[in-house]
Amino acid sequence: MKDTTRDTKALERELEEELHSTGYGTYILVWLGLIGLTAITVTVAGLNLGSFALIAALIIATVKSALVVNYFMHIKFDTPIFKIFVTICIIVVLTIFIITFFDYLYREPLI
C-alpha cells in the first residue's frame, strides 16, 4: 500500500512539472482559438452551404475537441497509456457512428 502511495505521489509530481512547463500563455492562445472556431461555426451556419454545412460543422467541432483534450485535459503531456485509452474511446465512438449510419444512409423512405 505504501508503495502505491509513493508511486501516485511521484506521478502527481511529474504531472505537475509538466503542467507548469505549459504556461498560461498557451492556455490563453488555445482559448482564443476556441472562440475563433466558434465564430467560424456560426458564420458557416449562416452561409447556406447545404449538406456541406454539416461536414464543416463536424470538422470544426473535431478541431475544437482536439484542442480541449490535448491542452485543457493535458493529454498531450500525459504518458502513452492515457493516450491509448483516449484513442480507444475515440475509435469506439467513430465505429458506433459509422455503423449507425449504415441504417440512416440506406433506409428506405416511408411511403
Partner 1 sequence: MANGILATDPNRVSFYEYEGKHKGILSWLLSTDHKRIGLLYLISLLAFFAVGVTLGFLMRLEMISPGPTIMAPNTYNSVFTLHGVIMVFLFILPGLPAIFGNFFLPIQIGARDVAFPRINLLSWYLYLIGGVLAIVSLFTGGGIMDTGWTFYVPYSIRTTSNISLSVFAAFVLGFSSILTAVNFITTAHRMRAPGMTFFRMPLFVWALYSTAWIQLLATPILGITLLLIIAERMLGVGIFDPNLGGDPILYQHMFWIYSHPAVYIMAIPAFGVVSEIIPTFSKKNIFGYTPVAISSLAIAFVGYLVWGHHMFSSGISDISRLIFSLLTFLVAIPTGVKVFNWVATMYKGSITVKTPMLFVLFFIVIFSIGGLTGLVLGAINTDIHVTDTYFVVGHFHYVMFGSMGILLFAGLHYWFPKMFGRMYHEKMAQVSAWIFFVGFNLLYFPMFIMGYLGMPRRYYDYLPEFTTYHVIATVGSWIMITGMIIMFANLIRSLYTGAKATENPWGGTTLEWKIPSPPPLENFREIPVITEGPYEHHFNKEENT
Interface residue list for partner 1 (CB under 8 A): 1, 4, 7, 81, 88-89, 92, 95-96, 99-100, 102-108
Q: Which is nearer to partner 1, 38 or 100 (CB)?
A: 100
Q: Which is nearer to partner 1, 45 or 96 (CB)?
A: 96
Q: Distances from the Cα of 10 to the Cαs of 4, 14, 71, 82, 96, in angstroms? A: 10, 6, 22, 17, 37
Beta carbon of residue 23, minimum distance to partner 1 (angstroms, whole number) = 30
Beta carbon of residue 57, minimum distance to partner 1 (angstroms, whole number) = 18
Q: Which is nearer to partner 1, 20 or 107 (CB)?
A: 107
Beta carbon of residue 63, minimum distance to partner 1 (angstroms, whole number) = 23
Q: Which is nearer to partner 1, 47 or 92 (CB)?
A: 92
